[in-house]
Amino acid sequence: MRTMMIIAACLFSGMLFAQESNVDYFKKGDLVKGIFYYDNGVIQQEGTYKDGKLHGQWIAYDRDGKKNAVAYYHEGQKTGKWFFWQENKLVEVDYDYNKIAQVTTYKNESIYAIEE
């Protein structure tokens, strides 16, 4: 399971740097917000950069617009709790200084509330 989450986290991180022609950038104070789109116009992911580095919350969506991942960066480093929604479970990956500290999987029966 840990290996699967490492692979998923790497793929999510890699998607952030993929060459993408369907992207909009907006300046928000000292941050730049990036919104990446699928070819069908649905948002693929969105998040912010600070000084050219990933910074703050990033959210990824599937092709139908359903949220499937939430990640956090601090000056380019993975940090805090990342969440991955997969079929009937929620996977929480805790990052500490860019390294996985803990992985927790919740089955559908044990999920009571998820902050949107």
For the chain, 116 residues long, the average pLDDT of each consecutive 10-residue run is 54 51 92 97 97 97 96 97 93 95 85 53
Sign of CA dihedral 64, 66, 72, 77: negative
pLDDT value of residue 97? 87
pLDDT value of residue 19? 46
Rounded Cα distance between 61 and 2, Å, is: 22
pLDDT value of residue 67? 96
Q: What residue type is 18 in one-letter code?
A: A
What is each CA distance from 100 to 54, 90, 107, in whole angstroms?
Answer: 18, 16, 21
pLDDT value of residue 70? 98
Question: What is this structure's pTM?
Answer: 0.76
pLDDT value of residue 2? 56
SS3 13: helix
Count of CB atoms within 10 A of residue 21's CB? Answer: 7
